Amino acid sequence: YSYETWQKTMLIDYEKTQLGFKHPDYLRLLKEYRDGIILFELTDQMVWSKALKDTSGLKSYHDKIKTKWTWDERVDGTVYKCLDIKTATLVRKYLKKGKDDVFILENINKQSKLNVRVEAGVFQRKDRPEIGDLKFKKGVSKIVKVGENFSVLKVNKVIPSTNKSFSEVKGLVTAEYQEYLMEEWINTLSSKYKLEYNESVYNQLVK
């Protein structure tokens, strides 16, 4: 560590302390950066992280607005998408006789696995365009033709329209809760402090 190195280090350190006086724009930029970090940390504490950690508050907020997210009428059942009317007629015949999906697939898809496709689950009408406007009713439906597709619907249970559960919409609720917390925080600050606009600074930002 030579004298020249020490001297250079001292000069650089001194020059750093003078940047604000020699370059006002740099000083303003540095202040904005520091203020930005403080604002980010405060916002995280008052809004973002709070919404994630405040489980009881989040659930309570969901209870107030849960009607925003609802399921349409749904069915617990199975859709049989058939290659043609002949296949659909045979599928419906088997279903009426109480045959299960394994039997149907083994007997109808011997030549081709594309003859009938079986898709089971819980779904809304809009999730299954291939069933058209078919009325939801427990049992085996009539054959439905939508476009070039032939389908048969087996309904195990009809589920009336209902609000979606908290777990089903947690992400959406969290996002709205964060917006709510942000608005509440801003209102609290507005009631405590007088807000003033610096027009000259604003004009500099716009430019």
Summarised one tens digit per residue, pLDDT across range 4-37 is 887 788 888 777 777 667 767 766 777 788 888 9
Average pLDDT, the chain: 90
Environment class of residue 91 by beta-carbon count within 10 Å: exposed (0-12), middle (13-18) or buried (19+)?
A: buried
* Amino acid in position 188: T
Whether 1 shows a pLDDT value over 60: the answer reads: no
Q: Give the pLDDT confidence of 149-190 residue by residue, as tens digits.
A: 899 999 999 999 999 999 999 999 999 999 999 999 999 988
Q: Give the pLDDT confidence of 76-86 residue by residue, as tens digits.
A: 999 999 999 99
Measure the CA–CA gap between 155 and 27, rounded to whole angstroms.
Answer: 70
**What pLDDT, on a 0 to 100 scale, did the predictor assign at position 3?**
77
Q: Give the pLDDT confidence of 80-120 residue by residue, as tens digits.
A: 999 999 999 999 999 999 999 999 999 999 989 899 999 99
User: Any idea which residue has 């969901």 for tokens?
Assistant: 62
**What pLDDT, on a 0 to 100 scale, did the predictor assign at position 111?**
87
